[in-house]
Amino acid sequence: MKKKVLSVLLAVAMLTGTLVACGSEPGSASEGKVLNIYCWNNEFRDRVVALYPGYTKTDETHGTIGDVSVVWHETPNEGNAYQNNLDDTLLKQESAAADDKIDMFLVEADYALKYVDTDYTMAVTELGITSADIANQYKYTQDVVTDSNGVLKGLSWQGCPGVMFYNREAAKEIFGSDDPATVQEYVKDWATFNATAQTVFDSGYKIVASANDTYRTYSNNVTKPWVVDGKITIDDNIMNWVNDSKALVDAGYTGTHDLWSADWSAGFFPEGKVFCYFGPAWFVNYSMSADTEGSIGYNGGWGATEGPQGFFWGGTWICAATGTDNTSLVKDIMLQMTTNQTTMTEIVTKYDDFVNNKPAMEAMAADPDYSSKVLGGQNPLAMYCAGVDGLDLSNLSKYDQGCNEEFQKAMKNYFEGNATLDEALDLFYKAVVEKYPELTY
Amino acid sequence: MTSTRRGKVVSYNKWGYIFLIPFVVVYLLFSFVPLVSTIYNSFFENYRSGLTQIGPTFIGLENFKTILTSGEVWVYAKNTMIMWILGFIPQILISLLLGAWFSDPSLRLGCQGFFKTVIYLPNLIMASAFAMLFFTLFSDGGPINSLLMQMGFISTPFKFLSNVWSARFLVATMNCLMWFGNTTILLMAGMMGIDTSLFEAARVDGATSTQVFFKITLPLLRPILVYVMITSLIGGLQMFDVPQILTKGSGDPMRSTMTLIMYLNKHLFSKNYGLGGALSVILFVITGILSLLVFKLSSRNESN
């Protein structure tokens, strides 16, 4: 008996699923009852829970919007787990039941093209989002998620122009002032920066926690992508990073720790004795232990300045998955989170983020009432605004994540003296071909 | 009369086969089918580039050629063997010693149950947790380095994981710590199976305990020793979790702690079933040859 009821239920569910798929119009009431969102951390979830109108939280990974239940599928990024899970689910998307289909997923710049350049993501125009809706967004955030045919396939609420965060106490001790303009003079280009490294070292500080800290500033200012016609190429500016970093490491001015390791993040605290870190707005709020008592950030001890070169790092984009049965809800979440000016200014004040809304950011940059607590009362938004204009993303490729990771790993061996430069480069090529067997070098 | 008796024999045989069914089914399902499909897969080009599936296309022995000509597999085989031997030698020595002590009634060791449990405990910890622990202990700013610096042995932190031999040594130490308890229990079981009258006879003849150990215990323990050798060798060739977690999958420095299975794991990033399959087949052959070698060598000694 139970089986019979179940089979009838299943049949009905399937039928309604097909009917909905046939007749789904944006805004129609016959949309799916479950919204599946795939993500790798709580960053986007926190913002939606706090700021999306009508979101009711059931527990950490569940909630409801109206009569639609929202399910957050969180898989950590480590060891590529997030993408593996997402890939397998996307490949099964077509045959999945309507309520199990992915409706929305998040991607990062390093691998956005892998998803955007396929039919698994929907064009935002298909959702009913017009170019007038997103006119205030920074163009670079749209370039990242535009496929090879020029179709825009995702949106982001944040902009990630990077700046240099320096330890104010250390700056006072070494240069006699923690004023951003003064500090900027000591780090205005790479030659000056590397010379300053010695001054900083003589005062007992490391210029950066690890050679990997400066990697993005070099790798974002390249003239060609990692892969050209199926061949792995290393840009001259990346080699500049190798040479500069080798000199810094050999002199003992910096370490070779992996990013996010305990040794690397020791510098978030005064005893870590690190002069500066490079990062975008989310770095301050999300990563620098700013909520831990005793950390530099907790006491507002960081200052921000442009640093030697502009760059961007990370950022999260929202993509709609092809086959979603919640198009109007997906559209609304995208619009609320990435275009609604009130929501976005709240993200700035609440999370120290830098949001993807040009007029709002320019207004806030000039607003004397806004200041960042972590940055000791500084308003860094003008700096981000200036930085975001200079971003050039024409050299992204879908291999960026693998190449960036493997390059830093391989070079660590060279910096530590376990390999010659050629051996380390050889290791890099080998490791990339293992990840992407179709490439040559 | 005769026909009923034959019927009985047949029905006993039937039960034998019925009792074998669970093993055979499990073996076929979880060992034989994967084995055959691995070999089958190794002849195809079959991987995923992003979300695009490439293949499967039949390419014959191309995958084997790629792996064997690059020569990397031998480097990783060497790494694996070095780290296994580094860990196995102290492991077998400690186990023999502990086994001999525990099984020697004349020593009258107290609290045997307690010690046997304690030495087995490291094996109960997940290898990944154990590796994480060592990673933290031996990191540049970790407790071991600060201890050594405070005691004045070194002035700057020693980078344990950036030095070929210290990294290998750490992996070997962890494997040794995790498995010596297991080996001790096995050897002890073997030692307690030896007829005690032989020990008594030796004592009456005035043999020292060293003589007893080398002339009686060791020769009679040979079958168990061979078993321990072979299982540990196979386990060693499959070494993965400890170095993987300790080096975050990189096998640093310069892949000197990269084992064969870690290399295999590298191919799974692109779901490369072709190259992965070929590597597994090579690994299967190597394991088979080494096991046969150990078996042959030790059984020849026995007949002498």
The CATH number that applies at residue A136 is 3.40.190.10
Q: Answer whether residue A386 is part of any domain.
A: yes
Biggest distance spanned by C-alpha atoms of chain B: 92
Task: Determine the pLDDT at residue B1.
Answer: 45
Q: Answer whether residue A1 is part of any domain.
A: no
Whether pLDDT at A72 is above 60:
yes
- Measure the CA–CA gap between B175 and B243, rounded to whole angstroms: 10
Q: Which helix (H) or strand (E) holds A105?
A: strand A104-108
For A119-146, write each residue's pLDDT tens digit.
999 999 999 999 889 999 998 899 889 9
Residue B128 forms contact with A (CB below 8 Å)? no
If you count them, how many residues does chain B have?
304
Q: Are residues A168 and A151 in the same domain?
A: no
* Of residues A261, A434, A438, nearest to B54 (C-beta): A438
* Of residues B136, B252, B272, nearest to A437 (C-beta): B272
Give which of A78, A257, A418 to mutate to test B binding, by max B Cβ within 10 Å: A418
- Measure the CA–CA gap between B139 and B248, rounded to whole angstroms: 13
Share of residues in chain A with pLDDT > 70 (%): 93
Task: Determine the pLDDT at residue A20.
Answer: 43
* Of residues A90, A261, A413, nearest to B254 (C-beta): A413
Task: Determine the pLDDT at residue A238.
Answer: 95
Residue contacts between A and B (CB atoms, under 8 Å): 69
Residue A79 forms contact with B (CB below 8 Å)? yes
Using a CB-CB cut-off of 8 Å, the residues of chain A touching B141 are: 262-263, 266
Q: Answer whether residue A155 is part of any domain.
A: yes
Give which of B66, B137, B140, B158 to mutate to test A binding, by max A Cβ within 10 Å: B140
Stronger pLDDT, A390 or A199, i.e. the higher one = A199
CB contact under 8 A, A431 and B47: no
CB contact under 8 A, A258 and B248: yes
Interface of B with A in 271-300 (CB under 8 A): 272, 275
Q: Which of A263, A51, A27 is nearest to A157 (CA)?
A: A51
Domain ranges for chain B: 70-303
Whether pLDDT at A23 is above 50:
no
Three-state secondary structure of B39-107: HHHCCEEEEEECCEEEEEEECCCHHHHHHHHHCHHHHHHHHHHHHHHHHHHHHHHHHHHHHHHHHCHHH
Residue B302 forms contact with A (CB below 8 Å)? no
Stronger pLDDT, B182 or A389, i.e. the higher one = B182
Using a CB-CB cut-off of 8 Å, the residues of chain B touching A418 are: 162-164, 252-254
Domain range holding A225? 161-312+370-435
Q: Answer whether residue A51 is part of any domain.
A: yes
Task: Determine the pLDDT at residue B148.
Answer: 93
pLDDT band per the 50, 70, 90 thresholds, residue A19: very low
Mean pLDDT, chain A, whole residue set: 88
- Measure the CA–CA gap between A165 and A248, rounded to whole angstroms: 19
Task: Determine the pLDDT at residue B187.
Answer: 93
Domain ends where: A344, A362, A380? A362
Whether pLDDT at B248 is above 90:
no
Residue A258 forms contact with B (CB below 8 Å)? yes
| Arithmetic mean of pLDDT, A153-157 | 93
Find the range with the poorest average confidence among A64-68, B34-38, B84-88: A64-68
**Which tokens sit at B17?**
């086969």
Stronger pLDDT, A351 or A222, i.e. the higher one = A222
- Measure the CA–CA gap between A236 and A159, rounded to whole angstroms: 27
Mean pLDDT, chain B, whole residue set: 88
Find the range with the poorest average confidence among B101-110, B130-139, B197-206: B101-110
For B207-230, write each residue's pLDDT tens digit.
888 898 899 889 999 888 988 998
Coil, strand or helix at A163: strand
Domain ends where: A303, A328, A362? A362
From A98's Cα to the closest Cα of chain B, the distance in A is 21
**Which tokens sit at A260?**
């996010």
Stronger pLDDT, B157 or A106, i.e. the higher one = A106
Residue type, B86: L
Number of domains chain A is built from? 2
pLDDT band per the 50, 70, 90 thresholds, residue B137: very high
Task: Determine the pLDDT at residue A353.
Answer: 85
| Arithmetic mean of pLDDT, A345-365 | 88
Cβ pair A312, A160 in contact under 8 A: yes
Whether pLDDT at B157 is above 90:
no
pLDDT band per the 50, 70, 90 thresholds, residue A244: very high
Q: Are residues A67 and A203 in the same domain?
A: no
Q: Which residue of B lies nearest to A255 if distances are taken between CA atoms?
A: B140
B75 burial (CB, 10 Å; 0-12 / 13-18 / 19+) is middle
What percentage of chain A's residues is helix, strand, coil (to nearest 5)? 45, 15, 35
Q: Answer whether residue A16 is part of any domain.
A: no
Measure Cα distances from A244 to A57, A192, A247, A253 in Å: 49, 12, 5, 11
CB contact under 8 A, B136 and A431: no
pLDDT band per the 50, 70, 90 thresholds, residue B24: very high
Task: Determine the pLDDT at residue B11.
Answer: 65
- DSSP assigned state of A176: S
Find the range with the poorest average confidence among A302-311, A323-332, B4-13: B4-13
- Measure the CA–CA gap between A112 and A399, rounded to whole angstroms: 10
Cβ pair B179, B185 in contact under 8 A: no
CATH code: domain B70-303 is 1.10.3720.10
Task: Determine the pLDDT at residue A410.
Answer: 94
Q: Answer whether residue A323 is part of any domain.
A: yes
For A273-327, write each residue's pLDDT tens digit.
999 999 998 888 777 888 888 899 888 899 999 999 989 888 899 999 999 999 9
Whether pLDDT at A227 is above 70:
yes
**Which tokens sit at A408?**
């830093």
pTM over 0.90: no
Interface of B with A in 164-223 (CB under 8 A): 164
User: Which runs of E-coded beta strand occur in B98-177?
Assistant: none
Q: Are residues A239 and A152 in the same domain?
A: no
Task: Determine the pLDDT at residue B209.
Answer: 85
